[in-house]
Structure 1
Amino acid sequence: MQTCLGGSLGHAVFLDRSCRYRFANREFLDFIGKSDGDVIGREVSAVLGDALHATYAQMLERLPPGESVRREGWTDYGSFGRRYVEELITAYPPDGDPPSGVIVFSRDLTELKNREQDLLERVEAQNAVEAYHAVVVNTALDAIVVIDEAGIVVDFNPAAVSVFGYSRDQAMGSQIADLIIPPALRSAHDCGMKSYLESGVSRVLGQRLELEALRADGGLIPIELTITDVTRGPKRLFAAHLRDLTAARKAQAEIASQRDALHQKEKLAALGSLLAGVAHELNNPLSIVMGHAMMLREKLANGPSSLTQSEDLAKRSVKIEEAANRCARIVRSFLDMARQRKTERQAILLPDLVGKALDLLSYNLQSSGVIVETDFPGGLPPIWVDGDQIHQVVVNLVINACQALEEKGDGDRRIRIAAEPLIGAGMVLLGISDNGPGIPASIRSRIFDPYFTTKPQGTGTGIGLAVSRGLIEAHGGTLDIDEASTGGARFVIRLPVGESTPGTGDGVSSRVEAVPAAARRHVLVIDDETDIAELLSDMAGSLGFDVSVAGSGQAAKALLEQGDLPLSAILCDIRMPNGDGPAFYDWLRETRPELATRIGFVTGDTLGPAAGRFLARSGCPMIEKPFTPDDIARILTSLTAGLT
């Protein structure tokens, strides 16, 4: 027995019926770190603890001679802790009855079992991660596409299927460039991937990009894209998170449309409140025009004029011109305010903008007995704004101040408009204050809320201040309420300073001289109003042009079809019977395309939607009625530029 136990592989011991060690091989002694003297003759409980002692004692009672039992599991080894052991316990001798003891062969598998357990836990953890990943990816609202370094799709989640229109089976294993990258961007994609794999440097990874992607049906959609390197092993992997921006862009467009509609609604409300004043402002200068025109006719009908009479006629002509210009300014201001167009920012001088607003409101202010004081320091920098929108804000604030002053009983009524540069802030401050009753502290925090108004029902929309603040903030500025030093209300606007030369608002500002006789050119005037056509002819003729006149688009076609009329430019009305301006322009593009680039329009219908769409489509130059000789000179100079 000793020879057999001593030569065994692993641990081997012999225990007598009292569970005392009678033999222990070197492997067992080394395992427990004891010598023969520490083990032989001692009970198992003294060496490895009571639990193991009880197990062996039980085996000694139950095992028949020569029988063996194999067991494997965690066992309490006393001071050695719990060990995972594989044991073969055999009753010895095989023919003894009862046996004199048991031979125990054992192997300590604790480390192996721990490694197996660790591996199992890792596998379970990996499975849990993969299951979690699958749940997250498959339920993500954004499209997730994973590709390898060759650009092959290795994952394509359900959101990607919905966004791009490919099934998962179609996408898996396909080249990403062929699936969703538009042809125009494929070269850049290939170069970027190659550069990153070679250098590890990328300008795209981790960045939020907005671009277009290709759908299965061939359509392009706007997307937001983020690409991340998700390599976790030898194979390079890249995950792209893509968000379809189609709905967001549509929502943004709808919000912009609603904002523009609200803006336009407030403008029309303001225009409605100004109609009576505008009518009065127009009637005054029109009375001057009509009266002096009739006086001129009577004086000229009386025969040759003396020098004194000639001077009187000249003075009356000047008064007619000044009154007509006043009418034109009022109409133009009214049209500018009513016109709906895209935001166009330019450098604008604040005194000019405020002056136009006060011109529009002059009757309302005068009839309410309001005195307006302005204070604009010299050298005030221009502001970078959309003049139409800021003009509306100033009009709204002055109207509000005027209406507040109407509630004032005694004393004068004053509005003060003052500006000052904010040095270092790149801003200009504009303050509009009045000496009225002011705004109670209890409602100051609410006056910019949409539809909040203190005015009687039917006299206010409640959106004027909300729209005004929105317009100012859209320009990067602020609109706040303050208390005026005079006790009334003070609104403070801060706007960014412009960076370029202030615009004139009507094209080239310098007067264009008449065309030299040696370079006389021919212009065709098309207008159904005979007096307008004659006036245009006179103005063009005074500039050195030869002029032909047609009363409609059809008449103009006939002139051009009769022969080779040597035209340098065409001035055309938009709305006419028997062939309007847009129809004539389309005919020119088909039959005389060289003239389609030399036609300009003179119209009073810029608010009409059809006229607006046509002018935007054609891109042709345009001047509004009423016009001046300088207006005609500018547009003819533009149309004939480049001719020799």
Structure 2
Amino acid sequence: MMDEPLPISEERPARGGTTSDHLPIGEKQFVDALLGGIVDCATVIDPAGRYLYANRHFLDFVKRPPSEIIGNTVAQVLGDAVHGAYQAALHSPPAAGTVGTDGWLDFGPLGRRYIKQTITCYPHGNVAVAGYVVLWRDLTDLKTQQTEVVRRIEAQTQADAYHTAIVNNALDAIVVIDETGAVVDFNPAAVSIFGYGRDEAMGRQIAELIIPQALRTAHDRGLASYLQSGMSRILGRRLELEALRANGEQIPVELTITEVRLGERRLFAAHLRDLGAARHAQAQIESQREALHQKDKLAALGSLLAGVAHELNNPLSIVIGQTMMLREKLIGSPIAEELAQRSVKIEIAAHRCARIVRSFLDMARQRKHQRKSVQIAGIVDTALELLSYNLKSSGVTVETDLPPGLPSLWIDGDQIHQVIVNLIVNACQALEEKTDGSRRIRIETSHDPAGETVSLKVSDNGAGIPASIRSRIFDPYFTTKPQGTGTGIGLAVSRGLIESHGGTLDLDAAANLGGAGFLIVLPIDRAETEAVGEAEPSLSVEPGIAKRNVLIVDDEIEIAELLADMVDKLGFVGTVATSGDQAKIRVEQADRPIEVILCDIRMPGGDGPAFFDWLCEHHPALTERIGFITGDTLGPAAGRFLARSGCPVLEKPFMPGDIERILKSLVRADPPA
């Protein structure tokens, strides 16, 4: 019987203060041998939950002596939370069964611990469950490390996703290199800008990838210097420089470089922005700004021309009118033929001046050209004839190459004549500075059947045009001539006239005389039929309207007297007034009724519009018999007035036929009531 095991509940006196004093001696030795040397915490508890045995690892874990463990319950030693967990486990295994659990448990003062344990019940004699052997291991540190690893992995995953979202979708190129200069990241924008695939770029040296040959040495030297000294002049700064694309093209880029440290590893992230589109847009903006600036200049030029035209047209009217009348006076005189010929030349020159002034105004008003079929060679001959004296006196030889049979051009001959004259005059003035050798001007024309154009070149063997000002010579008011010699509007006006015909006027890059050269290209716009003008009305005065009173209102007394002479020769009687206020007096005090009025628009002392408004109120019948003569209708006020009044208008300078036509349009067979 002594060899038979004792029941686990039978108590024996403690021997030697062991942790298993409540076990039988045989069992104590067996349990010590079995559980004392394992590395896990090991305890034996009875069905009531009291500790019967605890090994050294368990005592170290709870940091309590055996006397405070053996005989006490789980709740007393480890707390109610662990006791509750044990109770659930103790009643769950079948007889002689084992249950394993793991998870977080609250150990009271010992804190929350992650425990992996097994609870095995054992029988004794006829007792199915005599007690439980509990083995468990504290995995708190391991679990904490695992949780941290998972957290770091999740954080890295999120960082990678963030990096992908930011870097891969960035509009700017992002290129990352390591300390050796090898590419370790190449985002999609870099692929798009530089033309390399990502796989193609990864691992390659940045210097041979996107840095132009001329900058590679400086790049290598700068990287090596920074790695050695830690000092750099480019990190964190915005730089603009050239970069190289895969096709060898160099493009402007904006660059910033940032150092990134990953532990002992040093990386350099370059953010690059392609400036090509921005610079192209800036160039367009500058071009548009320059175009607006030129338009402003031309608008100012138009205002200037309006004033110039008014001042020139009055004396031109006097010159033309007086010349014609002088020629008529000379009829029958012994020297009539010679003086008449001279007067004709004066009149032709005056008419040409008048057409030049009118072409200025037409350009400023943007009126349609008075086109007709013209041979360009004839215009050149006329221009050379006009300038023959100046060319001869300046010692200039003119060479011409004007092939016969060139197509006719549908152009305004007077305007193209003005352009050619201007180019020849400019060339002549440039040659006056030439002190040695011959002075030559060459004029040549050609036909391009494929382009349906006719070209005219004017070149000289002078000093030429410096490259620094070639882009500005067509700007209004730009001139290299001394003050008082040039106005700077000739080439600007000439280009405007040519462009209004659908052509071009530019410097001739192929000029071969050694000086300046200009090239005019005009399209061959053949009209189906030339415009048929209205039949000229008879210039004779109808019977019954002669000797009728015509009131002439003009502040230029010479113009007024000239008009009076012209209307007198046409069979009318002219009465002169030099202002609108004086004209009112003439109307009110006239011995005979005023039947026709010819009135200037711009006058001091009462202008034409004010006089017209006075007629509307006091003599409305005369508002249908008034015509206006002016040297300038460009001004908006004059234009609005003429549109409002509906009165006929004649621009200075005028001819006797012009005066007769306007009189015939105003006079009636019966005098006004």
**Higher relative contact order by CA 8 Å / sep ≥ 6: 1 or 2?**
2
* Greater Cα radius of gyration, structure 1 or 2: 2
Tell me the TM-score normalized by structure 2: 0.47
Tell me the TM-score normalized by structure 1: 0.49
